[in-house]
Amino acid sequence: MTSALRFLVILLLLSLVSCHFKYRRPNWDREFRLKERCRDRNNVEERLAVSQCWFFEGMKSWFRRTSISWFPGKTKSWNLTEITKHCDDYYVCMENTKCYKDYVLFETLDRCSHDAFSIGPMSFCNKHLKDFNKNSPGTLPSCVLNYLEKDAPKKWTCENTKSLRDCLLPEVQKHCEPELLPIFNEHQEARQYYLGCDGKLEFKDLESFNSTDSKEIEIPT
């Protein structure tokens, strides 16, 4: 790559990042995400740590996600830890601020890891399912068609994650590459853990998590 081309690529990436952070309002200080002491405007040190985590680790996470979405083929040889590394790093950064509520940390981790899995190895399975549906319309279950054609839920819960898993598993076994199945199952188990569905996690803010007016958790994507 010539110096001029390298410069243009860097300039393009910086422009994309600039637009991403310009038009996506930061929500790191929204009341429902932070513990009470960190919502105090006079708590400068901890609020600064939160904003720095949102920006710097969020930018790194965005770059990693962009790389996966542009070159999903490389994820075929990755394990789940490699696919979701940027999510784990962002989670650690958020946790180290000691400002985020428990359920926010894990719901963010779930949303990020599911996004990475979906645009990575699962994207090839989705293509197989779409091709099969095109060649054999009316064969796939309606829940699979909804998954392929509609946007993901704004909020993931124990109920809709388990429903999606149970819906997709038979079709993944039938139509997708065999190598995907172990990592698919591992990802589904991780989701049940992150959302507290398997009973291994107890959120201190569980009453907020179950609130009917709980808002969507946003991550840098």
Using pLDDT thresholds of 50, 70 and 90, give the confidence band for residue 116: very high
The CA distance from 3 to 19, in Å, is 24
Q: Does residue 119 fall inside a structural domain?
A: yes
Q: Does residue 216 fall inside a structural domain?
A: no
Q: Does residue 4 fall inside a structural domain?
A: no
In this prediction the pTM is 0.80
| Mean local confidence (pLDDT), 203-208 | 62
Q: Does residue 146 fall inside a structural domain?
A: yes
> By residue range, what is the domain housing residue 42?
29-209
> How do residues 30-88 score in pLDDT, each as one tens digit?
557 888 888 888 888 888 999 999 999 999 999 999 999 999 999 999 999 999 999 99
Q: Does residue 8 fall inside a structural domain?
A: no
pLDDT at 175 over 50: yes
Q: Does residue 64 fall inside a structural domain?
A: yes
Single-letter code of the amino acid located at 152: A
Q: What is the mean pLDDT of the chain?
A: 83
| Mean local confidence (pLDDT), 100-127 | 95
The CA distance from 18 to 211, in Å, is 34
Which residues, in sequence order, are bridge partners of residue 34? 100
Q: Does residue 104 fall inside a structural domain?
A: yes
User: What is the count of structural domains for the chain?
Assistant: 1
Q: Does residue 185 fall inside a structural domain?
A: yes
